[in-house]
Structure 1
């Protein structure tokens, strides 16, 4: 068994000549003036709408990573990993302005996954309060982060060209995470708390 510490293994792997180094330095000091670089070589302010959108996508991806750290069913774990991959794809589009990677095929895929999940769920009679078990509650949190990422992308799209499919995917993602949270509670046999009208409380 290799006794090399994990962080040293990572360094050794990145130095192999037969492997292409993707990122060889994390601390660059080039952003100390409040500017950051895009993949096309241009530099923009760190509070530019494009960077705000990228940061929101990164935050969403991290939140999904925390969700995957929960003991989820295998089918949901695979689905969330696919979502994380797509978020990186959208980030790649934003890092190179006026490019489009995602197509209607991904949009159809996310909609079909939503249909499969929805088929397992009982109909909603009232609004659902975010919560349930810990896994579902975090999934609801991911949903709200997804909605914020969508808003940031809409802000950017008002100023610059954005792939409309990516906008649609983020919109569907918020819906998907909502029904996924419901499914997690259903499979765990955890009751959903529903909003009760004020006059009925």
Structure 2
């Protein structure tokens, strides 16, 4: 049985999908590492005791999709097999889900603070990590010699909105009010 450690990264480099190695501090590694962090936080949200089966199913699907996003980011070759693997259908599904979930929530009258139920708090944390992932992916796309499929930025942008409405929905399901921001 192969060992989990390979020792190939002991010099501070790692492999991408394709030939060659890059530094572990490479912007592409930061991008898919942040997507991986987001995926892990969704796993934490799924572990909360009050999560509904419907929300668990939705988060499970997002975790699967985030692995696809990570693979697309780990494939720097625009002609590579994973580089363009995030289909527009992912985005359309999320938009549909946002509209569906939001239709069951009271309209926002004010900004809300992250928090509420444990599940909602985890989803708000996931939303902020998703926004960071989006910023890193945009930076990667602006870097010389790098290519990022536009669908990745759009997907992460929609996903952060989706996580916001899922957090509000989790609070509603738990009977916990969203916490309004009182302003200045």
Give TM-score scaled by structure 1 length.
0.84
CA offset digits 1:160-196 (Å, max 9, x no partner): 1111111111011110111111001111111111011
1:103 and 1:87 map into 2 onto residues whose CA distance is 12
Aligned to 2:107: 123
1:155 and 1:132 map into 2 onto residues whose CA distance is 32
Shift of 1:60: 0.5
The answer to whether 1:133 aligns with 2:133 is no
Aligned to 1:158: 142
2:96 and 2:112 map into 1 onto residues whose CA distance is 23
Aligned to 2:22: 44
The answer to whether 1:94 aligns with 2:73 is yes
1:116 and 1:148 map into 2 onto residues whose CA distance is 26
Aligned residues: 176
Q: Which has the larger radius of gyration?
A: 1
The answer to whether 1:74 aligns with 2:71 is no
SS in 2 for 1:101: coil
Alignment RMSD (CA, Å): 1.1
The 4+ residue runs of structure 1 with deviation greater than 4 A are none
Shift of 1:74: 1.1
The answer to whether 1:62 aligns with 2:40 is yes
Among candidates 146, 151, 157, match of residue 171 of structure 1? 157
2:30 and 2:182 map into 1 onto residues whose CA distance is 36
Shift of 1:41: 2.3
SS in 2 for 1:36: strand
SS in 1 for 2:22: strand
SS in 2 for 1:31: coil
Aligned to 1:109: 93
For structure 2, the residue ranges without an aligned partner over 5 or more in a row are none
1:170 and 1:114 map into 2 onto residues whose CA distance is 14
1:25 and 1:82 map into 2 onto residues whose CA distance is 29
2:102 and 2:152 map into 1 onto residues whose CA distance is 22
For structure 1, the residue ranges without an aligned partner over 5 or more in a row are 1-14, 16-23
1:41 and 1:68 map into 2 onto residues whose CA distance is 36
